[in-house]
Structure 1
Amino acid sequence: MTDWSAPDAIDCADEQVFQTLLDRVETREKGNYFEYFAEGDEIHHDPGLRLSQHGNEEWMGQTLNHDPAYWRPDDARERGFDEPPAHPDYLLACVMGITVEDLSEKGGYFLGRTDVTFHRTAYPGTELDVTSTVVDTRTSSSRPDYGIVTWESVGRDRETGEELVAYERTNMIPRREPVASDGGERQRSAARADGSGAVADESSPSEAATPDLPSTLVAPEGGTFEDFRVALERARDNGAAVAYRHERGRTMDERLVAGLPLATLNTARQHHNRDVMADSPSGDIVAYGDVTRSIALAHARSDEATFRERRFENERFHDFVTLGDTIYGFSRVLDCDGEAGPDHTGAVTFEHVAFNQDSTPVYSGRRTALITRQ
């Protein structure tokens, strides 16, 4: 009888032998199925991640977030920082990237994220400690092979325990065992939802109400708080809206699609495994939603005197973004609050939309930022 444990008993590199073995072996799986999650469970994500100056600068450079306060010490001090801090988009992407292996590596549709709040400034060298709490689990009646999970995730400074950023996100997660479906929930479009952070709208175009759109769109003359406030007042007086597009575009290359997610420990296969994604609706690897989002926000920030990021709500990813797609930005001003923040700033609430070369929306969200006054 052959001793299969002996080093020379079989040649694993022999093609025929290897194919036979590969058909028989068990796959050691990564990630968790829907059944793993229960309301109230707290998950501590390991490994943590140390924010680095290199990672920070690469994220900002590649996504066109070129605010000098995050690069140069003199500008940082003028903005009230001790030194150039970690960019909030980089911080958020790292915190979420760390959670992927435990929460969403199995795949599933990213249904949205909200209540993104930045509590404290983080600096390169900060070691992150990230936890997630299961807020809710429920059944999808339209997709018996999936469940829906909502988590609240918090990123902390490992050394001090201080909260840096927190948010709530909701995903569809594959079930280990499908459940019976009554067909009550409208079927989501698989062609536009491949686990990349993209999901079709719940309503069909024929059922969705068409709003009365303003006949006039007003653009601010500059990027200071007063520019946004004046434009909003002028629009309201004339039954118009403040909305405009940003000129820059950024084409997705492999560094953006595969490199940046992996640098944040985002192990989701849709960002780096072209073999698996070849049979997906996108046909190729797709961008990390936070990369797409950061590029769109960079386009907007390049036309603003941004002082601090405050909060994001109702973030949604509407369609996948793959290699070769070009991301543009569109902004609408919703509100101006002159009483918020330090005296030299005011709070502006925007709705931002990222869209591709076919004018298809791929991301949308509401953002409140402190904008410098004139």
Structure 2
Amino acid sequence: MRGLYFEEFEIGKTYEHAFRRTITEMDNVLFTSLTMNVAPIHLDAEYAKTTIHGRPLVNSLFTVALIGAFHVPELTMGTTLGNLGYEDVRFPAPVFAGDTLRGETTILDKRLSTSRDDSGIVWFEHRGYNQDDVLVMVCKRAGLMMKRPAHEVMS
């Protein structure tokens, strides 16, 4: 399975990704601990009871990483040359352990690279939703994508 080459991306097309993932308390504890985020809102259940949410929040960077990974098998597996940047990252609703997340990606724009003849830049918008179809994360991302190799024929 491979992702899409630069030429295959269609501006305006939206992909609903097949993967879904239920977030566990362990996911949150491991990610938060590995990244050395000691904020008690993620790790301390007693502290979290005193917040507006009443329970620990899932680390928002875990949410970005997870939603940002759902697209890989169908869009960028083996065809990406790297991320160029993320912008406008938002979290309209909180994520908690036990939530099941899914993702969608819309192709916002694309252009050929001005410095490389083997690639182009694609702008993506990734959106994550919980089990109640509530938007929990949205971000825009630019990725450097391979052009179709000259030796490969279109089928």
TM-score, normalization: structure 1? Answer: 0.38
Out of 85, 94, 98, the residue aligned to residue 57 of structure 2 is 85
How far apart are residue 30 of structure 1 and its match? 2.1
Q: Matched residue pairs, number?
A: 149
How far apart are residue 141 of structure 1 and its match? 3.1
Gap regions ≥5 residues in structure 2: 151-155
Secondary structure of 2:15 counterpart: strand
2:83 equivalent to 1:110? yes
2:18 equivalent to 1:49? no
Out of 140, 146, 149, the residue aligned to residue 174 of structure 1 is 146
Secondary structure of 1:61 counterpart: helix
Written as runs of structure 1 = structure 2, the 5 A alignment for 1:58-77 is 58-77=30-49
In the TM superposition, structure 1's runs of 4+ consecutive aligned residues that sit over 3 Å from their partners are none
The equivalent residue for 1:138 is: 111
Distance 1:79 1:69 in 2: 8
Secondary structure of 1:166 counterpart: strand
What's the CA shift string for 1:129-152, capped at 9, x where partnerless?
100100001111321211110011
What's the CA shift string for 1:34-93, capped at 9, x where partnerless?
122110000111212111111111101111112122122221121211311211111111
Instruction: Give yes or no for contact 1:51–1:91 (8 Å, CA) kept in 2.
Output: no
How far apart are residue 169 of structure 1 and its match? 0.2
Code of the residue aligned with 1:67 in structure 2: it is A
The equivalent residue for 2:123 is: 150
Distance 1:98 1:52 in 2: 17
Distance 1:119 1:162 in 2: 9
Structure number with the bigger relative contact order (C-alpha 8 A, sep ≥ 6) is 2
What's the CA shift string for 1:102-159, capped at 9, x where partnerless?
33322213111100011111101111110010000111132121111001110011x2
The equivalent residue for 1:261 is: none
Instruction: Give yes or no for contact 1:104–1:171 (8 Å, CA) kept in 2.
Output: no
The equivalent residue for 1:32 is: 4
2:137 equivalent to 1:165? yes
Secondary structure of 2:117 counterpart: coil
Q: Kindly, what percent of the aligned residue pairs are identical?
A: 25
Distance 1:36 1:161 in 2: 29
Gap regions ≥5 residues in structure 1: 1-28, 179-374
How far apart are residue 177 of structure 1 and its match? 4.0
Code of the residue aligned with 1:64 in structure 2: it is M
Name the larger-Rg structure: 1
Code of the residue aligned with 1:172 in structure 2: it is L
When the two chains are superposed, the root-mean-square deviation of aligned CA atoms in Å is: 1.4
TM-score, normalization: structure 2? Answer: 0.89
Secondary structure of 1:92 counterpart: helix
Code of the residue aligned with 1:114 in structure 2: it is E
What's the CA shift string for 1:314-342, capped at 9, x where partnerless?
xxxxxxxxxxxxxxxxxxxxxxxxxxxxx
Secondary structure of 1:135 counterpart: strand
Distance 1:138 1:71 in 2: 43
What's the CA shift string for 1:157-186, capped at 9, x where partnerless?
1x21110010000011001146xxxxxxxx
